[in-house]
Amino acid sequence: NTVTQVDQCGCMQAKCNVTRLEYLSEMCDNYMTRTFCPSMSVPGKPLNRQALLCAKKILSRFDFVYDVARMDESMRKLSNLLAIWFPDTNINTTTTTIITAPVVNAAEREGQQQLHDDPLSPEEENILREKTSLDAELYAYARQLL
């Protein structure tokens, strides 16, 4: 008998030493949608649109959705929501250390060298799109909430 490890979202543990195509083929679908609605997640089974509706309903209850892909925009909106000002740098008054946090995606910085160039094949792109289709819709919905 084989024991399959699953996480809190019902996603099966990925196998090691497989090709990227094999990994993408076997990876858990729509991980964020599963995270919001784990009760609708059955290990090894794809999610349905009901799970997406459940995730949207839960997400709609949030007072604020912070999009880490758009940190600067999210920080401005959070600042407005809380009616406080967040400077570009925070000064720790006890140590007088200046702590900075980048406000742009590292990949968008000029002159930033990417780690490697290993584009997905068309087949890999299709699998990834299929496996994340509900998550893509959930992200679009979350962006509307911003």
Q: What is the pLDDT along the chain (146 residues), one digit of tens a residue?
A: 444 556 655 566 667 778 888 888 877 789 899 999 988 888 778 889 999 999 999 999 998 888 888 888 888 888 888 877 766 544 445 554 444 555 555 555 555 555 567 888 999 999 999 999 999 999 999 999 87
d(C-alpha 52, C-alpha 33), whole Å: 6
Q: How far apart are CA 49 and CA 52, in angstroms?
A: 5
Question: Which class for 30: exposed (0-12), middle (13-18), buried (19 or more C-beta within 10 A)?
Answer: buried
Q: What are phi and psi of 80, to 5 degrees?
A: -65, -40
Instruction: Note the pTM of the prediction, 2 decimals.
Output: 0.69
In eight-state DSSP terms, residue 121 is P
